[in-house]
Structure 1
Amino acid sequence: MEEDLFTAAAEERREKEPAGRPLAVRMRPRTLDEVVGQRHLLRPGSPLRRLVGEGGKGPAGPSSVILWGPPGTGKTTLAHVVSQATDKRFTELSAITAGVKEVRSVIDGARRSSGAYGKDTVLFLDEIHRFSKAQQDSLLPAVENRWVTLIAATTENPYFSVISPLLSRSLLLTLEPLTDEDLRGLLRRAVADERGLGGRVSLPEDAEAHLLRIAGGDARRALTALEAGAGAALDKGEETITLETLEGAVDRAAVKYDRDGDQHYDVTSALIKSIRGSDVDAALHYLARMIEAGEDPRFIARRLMISASEDIGLADPTALQTAVAAAQAVAMIGFPEARITLAQATVALALAPKSNAAYLAIDAALADVRAGLAGPVPPHLRDTHYQGARKVGHGEGYRYPHDLPGGIAAQQYAPDGVHGRRYYEPTRYGAEARYAEVAERVRARLRGEPPGEPGAEGERPGKR
């Protein structure tokens, strides 16, 4: 087992020379109790704690775990902790560089280690979504026979990117982005802990706030930036990581943006109003500010979906499709690539023709309902799918539109209280111009007027 001897020696050397390793590695938790965030996974009796064994008695449950979450949320860390807690060999592969050959080599080594030395193996496979179906199939024998404890990490939805046989044999754990409070505790621990900076520098509140902004819920990014700032401060003979020093070290300007304060709402409002006003450049500016401030990309995507319906609507029916597709893509890829997807959607929405007709229509209809203008459903529209419905007149006189020329039946659909009310007032912009023409023709047919002879307009809300 020369490989194990060399691995052990390397680990011992790194323990004796902690300063030579990145801060993010030095601060990596050694037990589940040191892990920050992910409280939903760390509660007593959780599947993760059962996996490492209560009281260190060994693993329980499935021997395969899939960790799904954005970068920097602790997927590699949890794999290391499981390895240490269960006293197993730890082997790490990345699906970016490894293939079936490397996977089989690790599995063969794990079988030899277990048989000859009684030492089981944790195989941590990062970016498993980059493996093809055939490559993922190669993992199944090892998982089924428990030759290794497989811990696979992915930033993409495993239901789309991991084969069903492997997914069904695995414990799926979803990791959430770390909160500012989680990261704040981690940064302060790194500044004070001997494994970290050992108190050699201090971190003022404004510099700490900037680290939280640029981290975006990513612990590794936060610690890497902290290490850069500390190095720059010490190089200048300073004992404080000032905001200026930190900005220079990470080569980014501090964005005046508070995700929990007025700036959050002001910048978000400005983004939507710039899209509504068709100023594509201003919209991209505010989008950039939100991205740079570490805003959750899913929040931005949700706002774009709302804008697509509220401000564009049927003037460009594809706008909502674009926004929804962007939201789905953002959830699957995350930052930094998600910035491109969000930019594409923002540009499309800003340059699309605008209409708030659907937004005004539903609010007008809701206002009437809340004012008591509901009324009973007309008898001919009521449900007839139960015994006795016809006896009370339900469905009597109903005209089936598909049996009529043009597929439109001249009959009353709305309750008496709002019959004749017009909620939808289409604009003449973009594709909605066609909807406006169709709406006029259909309304005339519903009133029983011959084609091409529309009568008086129906009553509009607010003109009773």
Structure 2
Amino acid sequence: MEPDLFTAAAEERQEKDPASSPLAVRMRPRVLDEVLGQQHLLKPGAPLRRLVGEGGGGPAGPSSVILWGPPGTGKTTLAYVVSKATKKRFVELSAITAGVKEVRAVIESARRATGGYGQETVLFLDEIHRFSKAQQDSLLPAVENRWVTLIAATTENPYFSIISPLLSRSLLLTLEPLTDDDVSGLLRRALTDERGLGGAVALAEDAEAHLLRIAGGDARRALTALEAGAGAALAKGDDTLTLSTLEESVDRAAVKYDRAGDQHYDVASALIKSIRGSDVDAALHYLARMIEAGEDPRFIARRLMISASEDIGLADPTALPTAVAAAQAVALIGFPEAALTLSHATIALALAPKSNAATLAIGAAMEDVRKGLAGPVPTHLRDGHYKGAATLGHAKGYVYPHDVPGGIAAQRYAPEAVDGKRYYQPTRYGAEARYADVVERVRERLRGEQGPAAPPTGSGPR
């Protein structure tokens, strides 16, 4: 039997015994108007509206759709809603467990269903990025011949993970992370809706705040935690889900952290200051608080990249590449594994030698620019490639450094107004000690203090 998550029998069973299905399944929207979030895809005339047709009409445009977004943002839900709105049969496969054989079986079944009794099929393929090129190639005939309406979901950049022929035949829709308001609306609907908890239990304010924190924008995670907490409260005979009961049921302590308030900025500030102060243990503590509070891992990664330049700079030139690599990894893998990557980067930055010389250098240069210390670019540095430049004297007298022994020509680069300014003042910490020696030798040579520069001998660009 093909893997069909919402066959008629399954739906009939769910209607007769709703409690047999998880809360996240029971609360799955049935029409587009019940979908929370993703308003850029759901407003009048938006792609999904056109795909299903207002009023339950047939789909328009391509017969393949790729939904790209983080976990829990409604990719499976949207696929199901499309199948319901277009009155098509819904078949779900996961790229983790399915192979070419399973895909071909579904496609053949869809061909028979279409030809035999006119029943069209929506094939929802989850985590398509896990399919190999050959496996993705096996989908092309079904897409091109419209044997199925393919809706594929991925958490990875489709331009890197999906073959070009399939991508070019698909409508690419990007799903945004759900906001706290979106998740809060979903929780309240689940509390009162007959498909959900039907008013059997209320939700304390601090318990709701904790649900939002642990959900981290993931609707499925929020509903799963709510269901566990509500079950625990009802088992105790309570009609309100409290924070303590919720903590017990999800086995996770509430973190005193408000992602939208002062605590958000205080904890983020403490993380960066602990890294700056080289206290690796304090830095890890604040990192853990941010992770447990459901902070966006991309926000944390951005702060680490800033810290790498602001507080470390050339004292450890590997700090910024480490932070950038961490940010890229976080974007690809997400939580919970991203916690390991963020820990890796935080430890490396906290234990690196520190220098704020790069920060002070650009700050001083920008301050002079704001004061009006700019002036014209020296004539010999101006572009000399266009017609008429020679007439203006542009690039005349420019010494090509590669033609000079040592590669440093004695000539003026800065505008006259700031000539001689020393913005970069390197420290003697870590690898920057080397730059401290180099910069003085370079400055001397630029001033011609080691004798006149040799005349150019090559034919490089001027």
Q: In 1, distance between residues paired with 2:414 and 2:9?
A: 81
Q: In 1, distance between residues paired with 2:415 and 2:93?
A: 66
Partner of 2:146: 146
The Cα shift of 1:3 comes to: 9.5
Alpha carbon RMSD of aligned pairs, Å?
Answer: 1.5
Indicate the percent of aligned positions where both proteins have the same amino acid.
84
- Quick check: 106-115 or 52-61, which moved more? 52-61
Letter in 2 for 1:421: K
Q: Secondary structure at the match of 2:240?
A: coil
The Cα shift of 1:98 comes to: 0.7
Partner of 2:65: 65
Partner of 2:313: 313
Once the two structures are superposed, residues 223-268 of structure 1 have per-residue CA deviations (whole angstroms, 9 ceiling, x without a partner) of 0010011000000000000111011111111111111111000000
- Quick check: 388-397 or 375-384, which moved more? 388-397
Q: In 1, distance between residues paired with 2:419 and 2:444?
A: 14
Q: In 1, distance between residues paired with 2:230 and 2:366?
A: 57
Q: In 2, distance between residues paired with 1:433 and 1:259?
A: 40
Once the two structures are superposed, residues 6-29 of structure 1 have per-residue CA deviations (whole angstroms, 9 ceiling, x without a partner) of 932232111111011100000000
Partner of 2:454: none
Q: In 1, distance between residues paired with 2:224 and 2:177?
A: 17
Once the two structures are superposed, residues 38-70 of structure 1 have per-residue CA deviations (whole angstroms, 9 ceiling, x without a partner) of 001001111111111222121110111111111
The Cα shift of 1:432 comes to: 1.1
Superposition map of 1:413-452 within 5 A: 413-450=413-450
Partner of 1:460: none
Partner of 2:43: 43
Q: Is it true that 1:200 corresponds to 2:200 in the alignment?
A: yes
Runs of 4+ in 1 over 3 A off after TM superposition: 1-4
Q: Is it true that 1:131 corresponds to 2:119 in the alignment?
A: no
Residues 206 and 3 (structure 1 numbering): CA distance in 2 closer, same or farther, change over 3 Å? closer
Partner of 2:408: 408
Superposition map of 1:259-274 within 5 A: 259-274=259-274
Q: In 1, distance between residues paired with 2:2 and 2:371?
A: 81
Once the two structures are superposed, residues 137-157 of structure 1 have per-residue CA deviations (whole angstroms, 9 ceiling, x without a partner) of 111111111111111111111
Q: In 2, distance between residues paired with 1:395 and 1:21?
A: 76
Q: In 2, distance between residues paired with 1:442 and 1:226?
A: 64
Q: Is it true that 1:178 corresponds to 2:178 in the alignment?
A: yes
Letter in 1 for 2:350: A
Which sections of structure 2, spanning at least 5 residues, go unmatched? 452-462
Partner of 2:93: 93
The Cα shift of 1:442 comes to: 0.6
The Cα shift of 1:393 comes to: 2.7
- The number of residue pairs the alignment matches comes to 450
TM-score with structure 1 setting the length: 0.95
Q: In 2, distance between residues paired with 1:387 and 1:162?
A: 47
Tell me, yes or no, if the aligned pair for 2:89 and 2:121 is still in contact at 8 Å.
yes
Letter in 1 for 2:266: D
Letter in 2 for 1:394: H
- Quick check: 95-104 or 10-19, which moved more? 10-19
Partner of 1:168: 168
Q: Is it true that 1:381 corresponds to 2:370 in the alignment?
A: no
Q: Secondary structure at the match of 1:55?
A: coil
Q: Is it true that 1:19 corresponds to 2:19 in the alignment?
A: yes
Residues 17 and 414 (structure 1 numbering): CA distance in 2 closer, same or farther, change over 3 Å? same
Letter in 2 for 1:330: V
Partner of 2:455: none
Letter in 2 for 1:405: P
Partner of 2:456: none
Q: In 2, distance between residues paired with 1:232 and 1:193?
A: 19
Residues 203 and 401 (structure 1 numbering): CA distance in 2 closer, same or farther, change over 3 Å? same
Q: Is it true that 1:303 corresponds to 2:303 in the alignment?
A: yes
Residues 322 and 22 (structure 1 numbering): CA distance in 2 closer, same or farther, change over 3 Å? same
